[in-house]
């Protein structure tokens, strides 16, 4: 505004000169026009200053409103709260079982006489999950995940919908924490949630050489590229309450982020009871890694396990041992379309072939007519069967079948939050351990699946 006023003064100072050259009437007309122009400029400046004042008032109003919203969120408990989840209705066809069905929210165990059992064609897919994450002031974190019928504890504690319930409390700084609660197993390169897996089914090591969950407490240390967790507690149990069965077991995992695109991990599970109790000691070890670059992704895992004779393998008192590998490769054919291949193998010949996650049956006979374990016919583990002329009998109760599986699939991002998966899986053993719907035994099986994963 000062600039315009100075201009007016300068013009006014020049008026005597103008008066000498012009008539009084002409001078008056020009001065009137000049005054009108100055008034117009002053009005424009006044409007601009009034607008700035209005903007400042509006900004102050919005700041007050935002502060009130923050106070309301904190008072109601919504501050630091995050809610997420997914559903994945799935279709599965199993050749040996002669089944073709949609799979959604069914049980994956025979607890409470459900009539269903755990199998690689009936694990965590076909599920719904709701996650509630909350971070308190100071860095304490709580997480509750609900997963009806399919959660980690559903097969061990009937009616339990809780998949995870955990708390993580910082000690001194955010890089050192104490945590406690029910924690899903953390071994391997695959995850339980369908949103985090490229294929529908899981690999053999995930299903049959790993725990489901841990209940207890532990410590977590994050130091640069290293993330380490160690925990003491129960394995696959909310409480140990049987005679001569004791905890704690020991569970740990260490991850190293080599770069933005590659990393390594290692985990261990050591749990067990008295050597002469119904359930023997279990030791599981594995190493895993990943490498992602451009359109290519590679993941792999090596596992070793040993277990004393269990109720599932009660006719064989020898300690069982097995080892295996799993490798996955994927390539993005298009930004939305990914092709995936996975190969698994478990060497499982020792001790009758009873890996940790399998369930051997009873009531079979060997070639000498002695009682022996029946194979886990759904999953293809245990000693091989042979036709004796009038019935199937166990060929050698002390020697288990080795297992392999090949999965080929695609994943297509239909739209944000919606993915469609397809998978063909071929499972094979080196003995007749797969049982068919007409009570015959084969060396292999075929499974086809389609799944739609919708997440938020």
pLDDT tens over the chain, length 456 residues: 454 445 444 444 444 544 444 577 777 787 878 878 888 887 788 777 777 777 777 777 777 777 776 666 666 678 899 999 999 999 999 999 999 999 999 988 776 666 788 999 999 999 999 999 999 999 999 999 999 999 998 888 777 899 999 999 999 889 999 999 999 999 999 999 999 999 999 999 999 999 999 999 999 999 999 999 999 999 998 888 776 666 689 999 999 999 989 999 999 999 875 444 445 689 999 999 999 999 999 999 999 999 876 545 555 555 789 999 999 999 999 999 999 999 999 999 887 888 888 888 888 999 999 999 999 999 999 999 999 989 999 999 989 999 999 999 999 999 999 999 999 999 999 999 999 999 999 999 999 999 999 999
Per DSSP bridges, beta strands 296-307 and 320-334 are: antiparallel
The pLDDT value recorded for residue 3 is 45
Phi, psi of 19 (to 5 degrees): -65, -30
The pLDDT value recorded for residue 336 is 97
Q: What is the spatial distance between Cα 123 and Cα 108, in angstroms, rounded to a whole number?
A: 6
The pLDDT value recorded for residue 338 is 98
**3 state DSSP class of 121:** coil
Phi, psi of 151 (to 5 degrees): -65, 170
The pLDDT value recorded for residue 47 is 76
Q: What is the spatial distance between Cα 268 and Cα 87, in angstroms, rounded to a whole number?
A: 31
Q: What is the spatial distance between Cα 98 and Cα 104, in angstroms, rounded to a whole number?
A: 18
DSSP label of 125: -
Alpha carbon separation from 366 to 122, 391, 401 (Å, rounded)? 30, 11, 15
Work out the number of other CB atoms within 10 angstroms of the CB of residue 234. Answer: 21
The pLDDT value recorded for residue 316 is 52
The pLDDT value recorded for residue 59 is 79
Structure-block tokens of residue 188: 């391997």
Tokens 């066809």 — which residue? 93
What's this model's pTM, rounded to 2 decimal places? 0.82
Work out the number of other CB atoms within 10 angstroms of the CB of residue 273. Answer: 20
DSSP label of 175: E
């Amino acid at each position: 505004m000062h600039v315009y006023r100075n201009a007016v003064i300068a013009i006014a100072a020049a008026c005597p000169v103008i008066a000498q050259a012009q008539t009084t009437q002409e001078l008056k007309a020009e001065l009137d026009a000049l005054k009108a122009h100055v008034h117009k400029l002053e009005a424009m400046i006044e409007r601009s200053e009034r607008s700035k004042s209005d903007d400042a008032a509006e900004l102050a109003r919005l700041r007050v409103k935002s502060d009130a919203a923050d106070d309301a969120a904190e008072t109601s408990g919504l501050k630091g709260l995050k809610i997420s989840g997914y559903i994945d209705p799935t279709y599965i066809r199993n050749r040996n079982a002669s089944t073709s069905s949609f799979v959604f929210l069914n049980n994956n165990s025979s607890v409470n006489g459900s009539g269903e059992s755990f199998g690689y064609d009936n694990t965590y897919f076909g599920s719904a999950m709701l996650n509630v994450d909350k971070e308190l002031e100071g860095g304490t974190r709580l997480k509750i995940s609900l997963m009806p019928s399919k959660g980690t504890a559903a097969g061990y504690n009937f009616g339990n919908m809780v998949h995870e319930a955990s708390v993580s409390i910082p000690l001194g700084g955010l890089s050192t924490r104490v945590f406690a609660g029910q924690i899903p197993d953390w071994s391997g390169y695959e995850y339980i949630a369908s949103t985090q897996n490229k294929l529908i089914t899981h690999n053999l090591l995930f299903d049959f050489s790993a725990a489901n969950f841990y209940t207890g407490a532990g410590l977590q240390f994050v130091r640069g590229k290293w993330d380490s967790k160690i925990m003491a507690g129960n394995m696959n149990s909310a409480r140990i309450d049987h005679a001569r069965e004791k905890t704690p077991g020991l569970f740990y995992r260490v991850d190293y982020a080599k770069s933005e695109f590659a990393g390594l991990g290692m985990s261990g599970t050591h749990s067990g009871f008295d050597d002469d109790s119904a359930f023997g000691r279990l030791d599981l070890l594995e190493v895993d890694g990943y490498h992602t670059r451009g359109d290519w992704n590679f993941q792999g895992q090596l596992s070793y396990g040993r277990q004393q004779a269990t109720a599932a393998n009660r006719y064989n008192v020898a300690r069982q041992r097995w080892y295996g590998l799993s490798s996955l490769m994927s390539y993005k054919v298009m930004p939305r379309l990914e092709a995936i291949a996975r190969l698994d193998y478990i060497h499982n010949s020792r001790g009758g072939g009873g890996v940790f996650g399998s369930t051997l049956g009873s009531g079979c006979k060997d070639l000498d007519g002695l009682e022996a374990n029946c194979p886990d016919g759904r999953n293809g583990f245990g000693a091989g069967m042979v036709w004796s002329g009038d019935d199937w009998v166990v060929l050698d109760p002390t020697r288990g079948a080795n297992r392999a599986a090949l999965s080929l699939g695609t994943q297509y991002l239909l739209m944000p939050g919606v993915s469609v998966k397809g998978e063909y899986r071929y499972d094979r053993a080196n003995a007749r351990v797969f049982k068919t719907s007409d009570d015959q035994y084969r060396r292999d099986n075929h499974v086809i699946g389609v799944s739609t994963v919708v997440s938020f």
